Amino acid sequence: MTLLDHLPVAPIVIPALVAPVTMLVMRRRRIFSVILSLGGAVAMLAAACALFGLAQDDTIRSYALGAWAAPFGIVLVVDQLAATMLVLAAVLALVVLGHAVVTGADRKGWHFHPLFHFQLLGLNGAFLTGDLFNLFVFFEVLLIASYGLMLHGQGALRLKAGVAYVVVNIVGSALFLIALGLLYGLTSTLNMADLAVRITGLGPADQGLLRIAGLLLMTVFALKAAVVPIHLWMPRTYAATMPVVAALFAIMTKVGVYAMIRTVPLIFGAQAGAAAWVPAPYLLPAAMLGAMLGFVGVLVARGMREQAAYAVLASTGTLLMAVAIWREATLAAALYYLVQATLAGAALFLVADVTMRRRGQYADAIVPSARFAGQDATGLLYLIAAVAAVGLPPLAGFVGKLLILDASFAVPGWAAIWATILGSTLIGVIGFSRSGSTLFWKAAPPGTDAVAAPARSRADFIAPLTLLVLLAVLAVAAGWVTAQTRATARQVMAPDRYIAAVLGGAR
Amino acid sequence: MSLEFLVASAIAVLVAGGIYLALRGRTFQVVLGLTLLSYAVNLFLFAVGRLIVDRPPLYAKDVVEHADPLPQALVLTAIVITFGMTALTVILGLRSFLETGSDQVDGEPDPVREDAA
C-alpha cells in the first residue's frame, strides 16, 4: 500500500490533528495557531482536490479503516458526490477562515480555531463515511463543534438562541438513534452498502417497521436541512450567531441534503419494498413551502443576518424540490444548485458582516442610516450577493435555477414546480431590492446620529469578493460543471456500483 | 409477563415522560426530559440486538446461541455522547439564566403566575 492509497482518510486526519495542536499553540502565540489553522485548511483543500481528481475516472473507491473488511469494519467511500462536497467544504472553509482572521473574529474567544477544525472534521467525515452509525458520530462531532462556534463571542441573545439550538439537535440525535436501532434490528448491519443488499430480503412482516425507520431517518436529515415544518430553529440561530460563523453554517444545512442524496437512492431505492423512495411524497410539498416561506422571510426580515438565514432556507427549499423528484437529470441540476447555493448563502452572511462593521450602532438592522464610510462599495457587494442568492443572471444562481426548471419539465406536476420557483424568485427579488434600497440608498431622517464606527481598511472585502468571483466562475464554467454533476448523478442513481465497490467479492 | 413486554413498556414510559418534560418551558425540566429520552433510546438500542439472557458475546466453546455484542458498543457510544451533551445543556441553561435572569427556554422573562402574585 502506498501513501496515495491512504488519501481518502486525509480530509479527516488533517483537521483531527490541526484542531488540538492549534488549541495548544494558541496559549503561547496567537500568530502560530493562525498560521497552523490556515495551513490546515489549505492542506485540506489540497487533499480534497486530489480526491476530486482521483474520482474523475468514474470508479468508486472504498477505504477500510484499520483494514477491517467491509461489512464488519467502517469504510470510507470516495465517489464523485463525496469528492465534490469535500472540495466545496474546503473552499468555503478556507475563505471563511481567512475572513475570520482578517476581521479578528477569531479573537473574540479562546477556541475559535480548534472548534472550526473540529467542525470541518465532522463535515468531512459525514461526506466520506459509508457506515450509518459512523454518520451519526460525525454528525455529533460537527454539531458539538457548531454549538461552540455558535456561542463564539457570547452575548445574551446568542445564549438564548443557543439553548434552543442545542435542545432541538439533541432531540434530533435521539430520533437518529431510534432510526438506526430499528434498521439494525431489522437487518443486523449498519454498513450502508450491506444495508442496501439486506433490505431487499426482508419479509412482509417487517415492511411496516422498515418504513418507519426510513421515515424517521429522513425526518432527522430534514431537521438538519431545515425543511419547512421543522425549520424554526434555523433562522433564529443563524441570525443570532456571528456572521462569519453563520457563513460556515451555510454548508451545514446542505449536509442534511447530502445525507438524503446519499442514503435514499442507495438504501431506500426502488428495491426497498415498502420503504421504496420513502420520503418522496412528503419532501416535494415541504420543499415548495420552504422555497416560498424562505423568500417571504427575505421580504419581511428585520436584519441582514436574518435575511441571509431566510435566503439559505429558500435555497434549501429550491434545492430539495429538484432532489425530491429522484431522477438523474433533476439530481444533476440539484447538485449544481447545491454548490452555488452554499457559496451564495455564505457570501450573503459575509456581506452582512462587512456592512455591520461599518454601520456602527445601526449594526445589521434594515433601517435607513446616516451615511457611513464605504457605503457604495458595500452596497455594490450586497447587490451582487443578492443577485447570486435570488438567481438572477449573470451569476450561477440563474444557471442553477434554469437547470432545475429545464430538468423538471419532463416530470408530471412540473407546472407546480415552475410556478413555485418563479413565484418565489419574484418575491425574493422584491425583498432584496426593498431592503437594499433601504440599507444603502435611503437617507436617514434629519437629526439622526452620525454613524459611530471607526474607519476600516478594505481588507475584509476580500473574502466576500472571492465567493462572488467563484460564483461568476461557476456560471462561466457551467458547461464543465454540469458535465461533472451529470456524471455524479449517474453514479448516485446506480447504487449497484456503490455496493460492488464497498462489498467487493463479499457479495 | 415476558421480559420483552417489561423492557418495551419501560421504554414507552421513559419516552412519554421525556417528551412531556422536554416540551416544558423551563430549562431544568427540559434537561430532565432530554435525559429520560436518551435513557429510553439507550435501552432501545440495547434491545435491538434481541434480549438474550445469560449467553456469552462473540464466542464460547460448545455454545450455539450468542448475545449480539454490537448494540452494546453502540449504546456505549451513545451514552458517552449524551453524557457530554447533557453537561453542555446544563451549563448553557445556567449561563443563559445568569445572563438573562430567566430560566425559560426561550429566554423570555418568567410569566407571573397568579398564585404567586
Q: How far apart are CA A425 and CA A402, in angstroms?
A: 12
Min Cα–Cα distance to chain A from B113, Å: 22
What are the backbone angles phi and psi of residue A78, rounded to the nearest 5°? -110, 105
Q: Which residue has the cell 429522513?
A: A218
What are the backbone angles phi and psi of residue A365, rounded to the nearest 5°? -65, 140
Q: How far apart are CA A448 and CA A503, in angstroms?
A: 69
B44: nearest CB among A163, A173, A178: A178
pLDDT at A201 over 70: yes
Closest C-alpha to A19, from A108, A151, A115: A115
| Signed CA dihedral, A195, B70, B75, A62: sign only | negative
SS3 (DSSP) at A420:
helix
**Chain centroid to CA A419: how far?**
25
Cβ–Cβ pairs < 8 A, chains A and B? 84
- Lowest mean pLDDT, pick from A114-128, A151-165, A188-202, A207-221: A151-165
Closest C-alpha to A393, from A476, A299, A320: A476
SS3 (DSSP) at A303:
strand
CB A231 within 8 A of CB A309: no
Banded pLDDT at A457 (limits 50, 70, 90) = confident
* Predicted pLDDT of residue B115: 55
Cβ-defined contact of B41 to A177 (cutoff 8 Å): yes
* Predicted pLDDT of residue A316: 94
What is the mean predicted confidence (pLDDT) over A380-408? Answer: 92
What are the backbone angles phi and psi of residue A374, rounded to the nearest 5°? 75, 25
Q: Which residue has the cell 456500483?
A: A497
User: According to DSSP H, which parts of B23-114 are helical?
Assistant: 27-47, 70-100
Q: Which residue has the cell 453502540?
A: B74
Could you tell me the three cell numbers for B102?
430567566
pLDDT at A185 over 60: yes
What are the DSSP E strand ranges found in A34-150? 61-64, 75-78
A448 touching chain B per CB within 8 A: no
- Lowest mean pLDDT, pick from A81-90, A247-256, A450-459, A464-473: A450-459
- Lowest mean pLDDT, pick from A66-75, A113-122, A175-184, A350-359: A66-75
CB B104 within 8 A of CB B98: no
Q: What angle do CA A13, A14, A16 make, to 5 degrees?
A: 60
What residues in A contact B88, CB-CB < 8 Å?
144, 147, 166
Average pLDDT across chain A, whole number:
90
**Chain centroid to CA A196: how far?**
25
pLDDT at B117 over 50: no
Could you tell me the three cell numbers for A425?
424568485
Q: What angle do CA A199, A203, A204 make, to 5 degrees?
A: 115
Q: Which residue has the cell 482518510?
A: A9
A170 touching chain B per CB within 8 A: yes
Residues A226-235 pLDDT 10s: 998 888 899 9
Q: How far apart are CA A182 and CA B92, in angstroms?
A: 32
* Predicted pLDDT of residue B114: 55
Closest C-alpha to A173, from A230, A120, A216, A226: A216
Closest C-alpha to A280, from A258, A265, A266: A265
Cis peptide before A281 (omega within 30 of 0): no
How buried is residue A202: exposed, middle or buried, by Cβ count under 10 Å (0-12/13-18/19+)? middle
Cβ-defined contact of A166 to B85 (cutoff 8 Å): yes
* Predicted pLDDT of residue A12: 94
What is the mean predicted confidence (pLDDT) over A435-455? Answer: 80
Closest C-alpha to B94, from A21, A163, A149: A163
Cβ-defined contact of A144 to B105 (cutoff 8 Å): no
Cβ-defined contact of B100 to A162 (cutoff 8 Å): no
CB atoms within 10 A of CB A489: 25
Banded pLDDT at A271 (limits 50, 70, 90) = confident
Q: How far apart are CA A103 and CA A105, in angstroms?
A: 5
Q: What percent of chain A has pLDDT over 70?
A: 99
What residues in B contact A163, CB-CB < 8 Å?
27, 89, 92-93, 96, 105, 107
Which of B44, B46, B94 is best to mutate for the A interface (most A CBs within 10 A)? B44
Q: What angle do CA B15, B17, B23 make, to 5 degrees?
A: 100
Cβ-defined contact of B84 to A156 (cutoff 8 Å): no
What is the mean predicted confidence (pLDDT) over B39-60? Answer: 84
Q: What percent of chain A has pLDDT over 90?
A: 62
What are the backbone angles phi and psi of residue A63, rounded to the nearest 5°? -120, 115
* Predicted pLDDT of residue A506: 45
In chain A, what is the straight-line distance between the N-terminal and C-terminal CA atoms, in Å? 24
Q: How far apart are CA A102 and CA A350, in angstroms?
A: 12
pLDDT at A451 over 80: no
pLDDT at A505 over 70: no
Which of B23, B37, B104 is best to mutate for the A interface (most A CBs within 10 A)? B37
What are the backbone angles phi and psi of residue A64, rounded to the nearest 5°? -85, 115
Q: Select the more confidently predicted residue: B113 or A292.
A: A292
Q: Select the more confidently predicted residue: B56 or A114.
A: A114
What is the mean predicted confidence (pLDDT) over A477-497? Answer: 93
DSSP string of A45-71? Answer: HHHHHHHHHHGGGS--EEEEGGG--TT
Could you tell me the three cell numbers for A472?
461568476
Q: Could you give the C-alpha distances from A39 to A235, A336, A458, A505, B29, in angstroms and in order?
A: 32, 28, 23, 40, 44
Residues B62-107 pLDDT 10s: 777 788 888 888 899 889 988 888 898 898 888 888 888 878 877 6
CB A57 within 8 A of CB A428: no
Q: How far apart are CA B83 and CA B68, in angstroms?
A: 24
CB A173 within 8 A of CB A136: yes
* Predicted pLDDT of residue B113: 59
What is the ipTM score, two decimals?
Answer: 0.91
Could you tell me the three cell numbers for B31?
434537561
Residues B10-34 pLDDT 10s: 999 999 999 999 998 888 899 999 9
| Signed CA dihedral, A237, A238, A240, A241: sign only | positive
What is the mean predicted confidence (pLDDT) over A313-341? Answer: 93
| Signed CA dihedral, A12, A15, A17, A19: sign only | negative
CB A394 within 8 A of CB A472: yes
Residues A125-176 pLDDT 10s: 999 999 999 999 999 999 999 998 888 877 778 888 888 899 999 999 999 9
Q: How far apart are CA A322 and CA A277, in angstroms?
A: 14
CB A232 within 8 A of CB A226: no
Q: How far apart are CA A52 and CA A90, in angstroms?
A: 12
Banded pLDDT at B54 (limits 50, 70, 90) = confident
Integer-rounded Cα Rg, in Å, for chain A is: 22
Which of B58, B89, B110 is best to mutate for the A interface (most A CBs within 10 A)? B89
User: According to DSSP H, which parts of A226-279 are helical?
Assistant: 233-240, 243-249, 252-266
CB atoms within 10 A of CB A422: 11
| Signed CA dihedral, B104, B105, B106, B107: sign only | positive
Letter for the amino acid at A223? L
